[in-house]
Structures are given as structure tokens and as C-alpha cells.
Amino acid sequence: MRRWEEAIRQVTPYVPGEQPGGENLIKLNTNENPYPPSPAVRSLLKEMDGGNLRKYPDPASAELIEALGERYGLGTDRIFVGVGSDDVLALCFLTFFNSGRPVLFPDITYSFYKVWAELFGVPYETPALDGEFCIRAADYVKENGGVIFPNPNAPTGLYLPLAQVEEIVKANQDSVVIVDEAYVDFAGDGEGMKAAEGTSAVRLLEKYDNLLVVQTFSKSRSLAGLRIGFAMGSSRLIRALNDVKYSFNSYTMNMPSQLLGAASVRDEAYFKETVARIKATRENAKARFRHLGFSFPDSQANFLFVSHPKVQAKMLFEALKRERIYVRYFDAPRLENYLRVTIGTDEEMERLFEFLEAYLKEG
Ligand code: PMP
């Protein structure tokens, strides 16, 4: 091995879901929104002629942060934006998890956490979810260098009630606790959870300055292609994130993303309508899957994590792919007999269920 090769950082990268090309496929594998972004976003995009692109974008993303501040009732010093929540979360690992004590996150969760921990040399421990795939708040009440978990969790879709989130934040006031709310806008209105409002930990921010809530435009706002994520927290935490960002790259978010993102945030009616549609489709999908003999945790996200007692998940994954229906399969312990299926439009779900009915009958 050459000397320079020895000096290369050793990492095992995160593997994102496939982005297959071509027509006539049903893409239920990366939790994208099946509906287009707000008409306000699309008409602004048409108006843009690109002349301004000769200039650097606003490094502070002020317009976008102002729109978010109004939407969430927070001062602009309490919001940080990044290039997708992946960018925000990676910066969080770099900024907050430096104590040398282990950071805690669930054994079954968003698999990028482990990759960032390895990349930045952050020690970590992974308390196991219980037999029903639930996070046990008590597992996070111990010495640590930070806590991070998604709510709803991925890939299970399970939502941890806010009282338990608060228990974790309250017990860890010497650490930064990050709640990754990539899917929180879809929580509520489910079978097991009627309350549509108040599912986000944003409301705990008034009480705890060690809490950081991270959200994304990729799912509920149909803007995965723009790459916008944001963090909300105390001004002290936001300042720390900004200091690290400006030590790394001042111009992270491009100008069109800032303006289009702001237009999306200001169209509350469209946001509510599409989120409600996806939740209704999800609840119907639960009934259909159950009818076909599948079992699954009671997801509050825009995906279901399903398993069938008579069919191997991997075989079904491959059969679906041959039909040009893409879902996500994780070849990992405890997950290997499940498929994660993103909620599509009613028509897409109908085609999925037609295929599953025929497939199960044959088998
Ligand atoms: N957190 C969780 C739990 C996710 O599932 C995802 C989507 N892969 C992300 C964060 C990142 O999403 P994005 O970078 O598109 O905002």
C-alpha cells in the first residue's frame, strides 16, 4: 500500500435508496411525497430567469429563515437551515457531540447516525428497541455525550408520545438532545393516535435549551430535490451550529432553494391538504395490508414497515421490482423480514395491492 493510501480516511458510507429512471414505475422506496410541491413554488420557479445566479447566495438564508420563524413562532436566532436535514444532522454531530462520552441512539433507526459517528470519531451506544420496536425512554437516562432519535422513528414509523420525549430531554440537561422530526408532519389521525396537533417537540423548546428539533422539506413539503432541512432550538445551540457551518462552507444553500423554500412555507393550505391526503391513504393502506395477512407497527409516518408470515420479504421485494414497483429492503438483523413501503397516491397503492393480492394467491 502506498503511503498516501494509508492516509486516506476509512469510512463505510451510507447507502441511499435507489433512484431508478424510466417511465411507468411506482416508486415507494425513499419516502418521497407522491404529490408535486405547492403551486406557489412551481410558479416562482417558472418566473426565475437565472440572471441572479451570477451572485453568491445569501449566506444567512435570511428569507427562508424568516418564513420558518413566522410558521413556527420562533425568532430568527433560533433557526438554522442546511442542505437537507442530512446536512443539518451531520453538522450537529460535528458541533455537539465532542465530549468523548458515548452518544445514544436506538439500535434500529436511521442508519446515517452510525455513519456520521464513525466519520467524526464520536463514540456511541445503541440501546435496543423493545420487542414491539418501541423506544424505551428509560434507556436514555444514563451518562452520555448526547442523544439523537427520529420521531416518528425510521424505518418503523412508530411515534414516541411527547411526554416520553420530554422525559428524555429533561433527564439529559447536561447533553444536547436532538429529535429528528423528518416525518412528524404525518403523525396523528391514525388508528392509535387521534390528535393531529401537538405532535412536534417544538413546543418543548420554551422549556429546554438543550433540545434541538430537526425537520426537512423533503417529505411533507414535496421538495426532496431542493435539499432543505432546518433545526430549531435555543439561540445558544443555533449560534454554535452557525459557527461550525461558517468554519466549513459559508454558502451552503443555493439561491433558488432559499426562495422556493420560503414560498413553500408560506403556502400552509396546500401543505395541510397534501399531508391530510397522505395520512388518509396510509390509514386505508393499513387496512388493506392487514386484510392480506401482513403485520406492521402502527406507523405515524409516510411509510409502513410490513412483514408477512408466509412470504420472505426479500423474495417479495424482488418480485415487486420485476413489476417496476420499488420498495425498500434492509438486509439487517431483526429487519430482514420486513419491507418499508412509502405511501404513494391512492392509484399507486391500488396497483401495489392488486399485485400483492395476485402474488399471495399464487404462492
Ligand atoms: N432523518 C430521517 C429519519 C430520514 O429518514 C431522512 C431521509 N432519508 C433524513 C433525516 C434526511 O432527509 P433529507 O436530507 O432529505 O432532509
Instruction: Say how far apart CA 162 and CA 183 lie, in whole Å.
Output: 14
Compute how many other C-beta atoms are within 10 angstroms of the C-beta atom of residue 319.
16
Instruction: Say how far apart CA 363 and CA 358 lie, in whole Å.
Output: 9
| Nearest ligand 1 atom to alpha carbon 218 | 15
Mean pLDDT of all residues in 57-66: 98
Residue 198: per-residue pLDDT: 67
Ligand 1 centroid to residue 117 C-alpha, Å: 16
Instruction: Say how far apart CA 26 and CA 297 lie, in whole Å.
Output: 23
pLDDT at 20 over 50: yes
Which part of the chain is CATH 3.40.640.10? 39-267
- The kind and range of the H/E element at 229 are strand 229-233
Q: Report whether 328 contacts 156 (CB < 8 A).
A: no
**Residue 86 amino acid letter:** D
Ligand 1 centroid to residue 149 C-alpha, Å: 12
Instruction: Say how far apart CA 203 and CA 232 lie, in whole Å.
Output: 11
pLDDT at 196 over 90: no
Instruction: Say how far apart CA 68 and CA 351 lie, in whole Å.
Output: 37
Compute how many other C-beta atoms are within 10 angstroms of the C-beta atom of residue 46.
8
Kindly report the CATH class assigned to 39-267: alpha beta
Please report the sign of the dihedral spanned by the C-alpha atoms of residue 51, residue 53, residue 56, residue 59: positive
Residue 271: per-residue pLDDT: 98
Q: Report whether 340 contacts 305 (CB < 8 A).
A: yes
Percent of the chain with pLDDT strictly greater than 70:
97
Instruction: Say how far apart CA 33 and CA 301 lie, in whole Å.
Output: 11
Q: At which residue does the C-alpha cell 391526503 appear?
A: 277
Q: What angle do CA 304, 305, 307 make, to 5 degrees?
A: 125
Phi, psi dihedral angles at 88 (to 5 degrees): -60, -45
What is the DSSP annotation of 298-339? ---SSEEEEBBTTB-HHHHHHHHHHTTEE-EE--STTTTT-E
The residue whose CA is least distant from atom 8 of ligand 1 is 30
What is the phi-psi region of residue 10: left when phi exceeds 0, alpha when psi lies from -120 to 50, beta otherwise? beta
Mean pLDDT of all residues in 206-223: 98
pLDDT of 227-256, one tens digit each?
999 999 999 999 999 999 999 999 999 999
Ligand 1 centroid to residue 9 C-alpha, Å: 24
pLDDT at 51 over 50: yes
Query: 286-307 as b/e, with b when 16 or more CB fall inside 10 Å?
Result: beebeeeebebbebbbbbbbbb
What is the DSSP annotation of 135-171? --GGGG-SS-S-EEEESS-TTT-PPPPHHHHHHHHHH
Ligand 1 centroid to residue 182 C-alpha, Å: 6
The residue whose CA is least distant from atom 12 of ligand 1 is 85
Q: Strand 339-342 and strand 303-306: pairing?
A: antiparallel
Mean pLDDT of all residues in 273-296: 98
Kindly report the CATH class assigned to 3-37+269-362: alpha beta
Instruction: Say how far apart CA 59 and CA 249 lie, in whole Å.
Output: 9
pTM exceeds 0.95:
yes
pLDDT at 194 over 50: no
Which part of the chain is CATH 3.90.1150.10? 3-37+269-362
Rg (CA), the chain: 21
What is the DSSP annotation of 72-136? HT--GGGEEEESHHHHHHHHHHHHH--SSSPEE--SSS-THHHHHHHHHT--EE-PPP-TTS---
Closest by CA to 256, choosing from 23, 41, 3, 95, is 41
Residue 48: per-residue pLDDT: 97
Ligand 1 centroid to residue 363 C-alpha, Å: 35
Q: Report whether 114 contacts 124 (CB < 8 A).
A: yes
The residue whose CA is least distant from atom 1 of ligand 1 is 182
Residue 362: per-residue pLDDT: 84
Instruction: Say how far apart CA 347 and CA 147 lie, in whole Å.
Output: 40
Residue 189: per-residue pLDDT: 65
Q: At which residue does the C-alpha cell 442542505 appear?
A: 83
Choose which residue among 29, 212, 216 to substitute to test ligand 1 binding: the one with the highest number of ligand atoms within 8 A of its C-beta: 216
pLDDT at 110 over 60: yes
Ligand 1, residues at Cβ distance < 6 Å: 84-86, 110, 150, 154, 180, 182, 216, 218, 224, 229
| Nearest ligand 1 atom to alpha carbon 83 | 14
What is the DSSP annotation of 11-22? -----PPP---S
Residue 195: per-residue pLDDT: 44
Choose which residue among 29, 218, 299, 330 to substitute to test ligand 1 binding: the one with the highest number of ligand atoms within 8 A of its C-beta: 218
